[in-house]
Amino acid sequence: DTAVSQTPKYLVTQMGNDKSIKCEQNLGHDTMYWYKQDSKKFLKIMFSYNNKELIINETVPNRFSPKSPDKAHLNLHINSLELGDSAVYFCASSQGTRYNEQFFGPGTRLTVL
């Protein structure tokens, strides 16, 4: 009965490769997010989608492309991976008002070699 799930949990890849991270929520929420946590544990929003529509795009390189096939899924595709992309990526969902709790996935640790 996991609320927000992400796959894979760990991802190790070479520079220049393309990879995807998947996120699914079963909470019936209409808003989903991607956050990046760097090596210093700083969490920063990357994207948010509301009902499959892009709402927030935080000056992220266009090598990062989110895709939301339906409101329960928000995938993150990364092209031409760079060393600086190494981080933990968290997916989250909420019912979409600023007062509501965001529910986070377990995170995907991406290591680019």
Partner 1 sequence: AQRVTQPEKLLSVFKGAPVELKCNYSYSGSPELFWYVQYSRQRLQLLLRHISRESIKGFTADLNKGETSFHLKKPFAQEEDSAMYYCALSENNTDKLIFGTGTRLQVFP
Residue 90 binds partner 1 (CB under 8 A): yes
What are the percentages of helix, strand and coil residues in the chain, rounded to 5? 5, 55, 40
Q: State which of residues 1, 62, 83, 101 lies at the interface with partner 1 (CB under 8 A).
A: 101
Residue 64 binds partner 1 (CB under 8 A): no
Q: Show the binding pattern over residues 10-29: x = contacts partner 1 (CB under 8 A), - = does not.
A: --------------------
Q: State which of residues 17, 51, 80, 100 lies at the interface with partner 1 (CB under 8 A).
A: 100
Burial class (CB in 10 A: 0-12, 13-18, 19+), 53: exposed
